[in-house]
Chains A and B, each alone.
Chain A
């Protein structure tokens, strides 16, 4: 019984310590997901959080400027102007029409300043949907044929 109690105390210390670390880590790195449509509706302190927003890169909107890359993200019928200011080169998969995840801050003027851009060329495993694929369609709807 005594040994059991000792073990329980040891286990308790470990779990409490790690929980504290987890809490600190979560506070440091937490990022809020929002849809493009939700962003303008946010008010007050919610605006100062770090956000992660997903959408599709609008065709022809990518503009390389000095020190930043501007593009427009579209989703649910809304558009969001984004400025990427990160130092890492943009991923290979980042291009017109790519499904894209940006992380950063939302500015009061409605522009999103991103420090990180992840482009999901659909996925690691899925071939990208090609525009104007040859005439025929798959006989039944397969996930591959889904447009993003």
Chain B
């Protein structure tokens, strides 16, 4: 199976060469047969990569420990469920997984647009095949997962040396979320290749109009959605598994996943400027390019050893390949831009500061500043070494100081932007749209202070959260009221109809609301409490309103690990609430221990209990308990964001034609021909700015 896999990848590499070469020839000669054959080569590349990945998966599931990679990342006692994520738990496998996911995207794109857009698709095919080519070079020649163990036997001949058992999967990864987090994040990273390919293709081929924007909108949203899920799952994994009571630590690898998300978010907003007003063409192209570069950078940061991180892969020579690829990409994009920049000229100028356009401009500016801040903070050691000769790193205070105000400003724009009109907004309409939501937000902020949430940032955040929520609700209410008046259905079903008629707009509002929930969750951070104590059975710890009674310890033996478990009875005001069971596990296959945190989560707060091991002095068990307010809102917000994105991905429901009686014709126009009724597409209602 290993031979099959490696040959599949080698053949994929050859097909890729043909897809690129044939594609370029097809672009030059414009011969339909050549275009078709280059596209078919693209299909073949994808199918062969799937086969390659499939055979690696097979090797894992069948415990083939003659394979170096399988043996390093799996063992016989590992639950079958975890043998699948083990495939991408190491350098080689994760790179093949990148290729695999990219192939799914590329295949879908080539298949969806087969026979369409003959001016554009050959370029797209060449770009996607080139990106695949880079990863296939890594998969085949630099970091092949299909290496075998061999030992010199009699006469110096090498023999296959099968291992009895593997070294096992890192215990930190033996957690259900870890099986979904990497695929989600990688789907995000790889997905941004598609808008990149279309943008570069449109630029290279001077493809007229905003067509490429329309074509890539959904693909960008899919990638963005996966990236969001990936980031949140990563945060949740860090929270639930690492046992430090937090979910985000501004680690270089976390930052790497956040940066393309920031530019991707900026892009999703600024495309609307291009669609509606023909503005920001250059900006959009470069946003897409940068997002792709940041994805490659993100993938390479974990592998090159350029920055120190708890997450990073072992330092390896693979970093140079990524840097070279990044430089090539930047040069190609720059040349394409310089050669064809006249094609990106803007149609319109900014008319007013109080307009939808300017809110988008500020949104983009601020997201980009956030991205630059995160990037420079992440690369600080590299930059400072280059500039001043000493390697300096910056910590969370740097990131928080910059990004907290940015986040709040973004939240403000989230409320304001959608209600501003294109071109220019009158102060009167601003007063009408923003008056009540602002009052509502202020009431919320006062309540928050009254309930003891005293922190300036939190107060502002609560105020803005209330404001955004109310603007979103008022948008839904206004639209539904119009439909409700017309159709007689109740407000809720009208709201559902409204959403289905313009999924992009109202799905977007739902995403905004999800972001509000996430911000509310973040507001809890300044009020976190924790306490650490050496506890014996019978000991009691008080934390906030809770009292923790340690009852006993027991041990458990599983095939893959042994565990020690504390039983803690939690009560509040003398009433027993629940039992919590924090655990420590020991995995003999790689001699590592892991923490299983016990979390009791409510909307108000999380009680988070870690069994931190035994005290070295007294050999008494140490219990570390945290009280983290509002954390659940973050995960809830994440679910809402994903739901909103899915809504926005749905096609708009077909326009329904309704007959609207025409107003009585005035005598002055009696001579003119009148039409008894006008037909109005219902999907265009309500008619406010979109």
Give A contacts to B, CB under 8 Å: 3-4, 6-7, 10-11, 14-15, 17-18, 21-22, 24-26, 28-34, 52, 54, 64-66, 69, 87-89, 92-93, 95, 101, 118, 120-128, 130, 133-140, 142-146, 148
CA distance A130 to B589 in the complex (A): 9
Contact of B68 among A10, A26, A93, A144 (CB under 8 A): A144
CA distance A120 to B679 in the complex (A): 67
Closest to A17 in B: B405
CA distance A54 to B309 in the complex (A): 11
5 contacts between A and B (CB under 8 A): A7-B358, A15-B369, A32-B391, A52-B308, A130-B591
CA distance A84 to B594 in the complex (A): 21
Chain B, interface size: which category? 35 or more
Give chain A residues whose Cβ lies under 8 Å from the Cβ of B593.
92
Contact of B244 among A30, A88, A137 (CB under 8 A): A88
Give B contacts to A, CB under 8 Å: 68-69, 72-73, 89-92, 94, 143, 147-151, 158, 161, 163-164, 167-173, 243-244, 302, 308-314, 316, 318, 349-353, 358, 361-362, 365-366, 369, 373, 376-377, 380-381, 390-402, 405-406, 409, 532, 590-595, 610, 612-613, 616-617, 622, 624
Closest to B182 in A: A125
Decide: A143 and B244 in contact? CB cutoff 8 A. Answer: no
Closest to B170 in A: A127
Contact of B390 among A29, A32, A121, A136 (CB under 8 A): A32
Decide: B147 and A125 in contact? CB cutoff 8 A. Answer: no
Once A30-B393, A33-B381, A126-B90 are accepted as A-B contacts, the answer to whether A18 and B163 lie under 8 Å apart by CB is no
Once A22-B401, A64-B616, A64-B617 are accepted as A-B contacts, the answer to whether A125 and B244 lie under 8 Å apart by CB is no
Give chain B residues whose Cβ lies under 8 Å from the Cβ of A123.
310-314
Known: A34-B391, A65-B616. 4 other contacts (CB 8 A): A4-B350, A18-B373, A29-B397, A146-B314
Once A25-B397, A26-B394, A127-B72 are accepted as A-B contacts, the answer to whether A134 and B314 lie under 8 Å apart by CB is no
Decide: A126 and B91 in contact? CB cutoff 8 A. Answer: yes
> What are the 3 closest A-B residue pairs judged by CB atoms, nearest first?
A64-B616, A25-B398, A33-B391
Decide: A18 and B405 in contact? CB cutoff 8 A. Answer: yes
Once A7-B358, A136-B150 are accepted as A-B contacts, the answer to whether A125 and B173 lie under 8 Å apart by CB is yes
Closest to B313 in A: A123
Decide: A122 and B314 in contact? CB cutoff 8 A. Answer: yes
Give chain A residues whose Cβ lies under 8 Å from the Cβ of B399.
25
Decide: A143 and B91 in contact? CB cutoff 8 A. Answer: yes
Which of A101, A134, A135, A148 counts the most B-chain CB atoms under 10 A from its CB? A134
CA distance A63 to B82 in the complex (A): 35
Give chain A residues whose Cβ lies under 8 Å from the Cβ of B244.
88
CB distance from B334 to the nearest CB of A (A): 24
Give chain A residues whose Cβ lies under 8 Å from the Cβ of B390.
32-33
Decide: B91 and A30 in contact? CB cutoff 8 A. Answer: no
Decide: A127 and B590 in contact? CB cutoff 8 A. Answer: yes
Contact of B396 among A29, A134, A143 (CB under 8 A): A29
Contact of A22 among B311, B366, B398 (CB under 8 A): B398
Decide: B314 and A6 in contact? CB cutoff 8 A. Answer: no
Decide: A21 and B405 in contact? CB cutoff 8 A. Answer: yes
Decide: B313 and A126 in contact? CB cutoff 8 A. Answer: yes
Closest to A122 in B: B314
Give chain B residues whose Cβ lies under 8 Å from the Cβ of A15.
365, 369
Decide: A25 and B167 in contact? CB cutoff 8 A. Answer: no
Decide: A142 and B69 in contact? CB cutoff 8 A. Answer: yes
Decide: A139 and B158 in contact? CB cutoff 8 A. Answer: yes
Give chain A residues whose Cβ lies under 8 Å from the Cβ of B391.
32-34
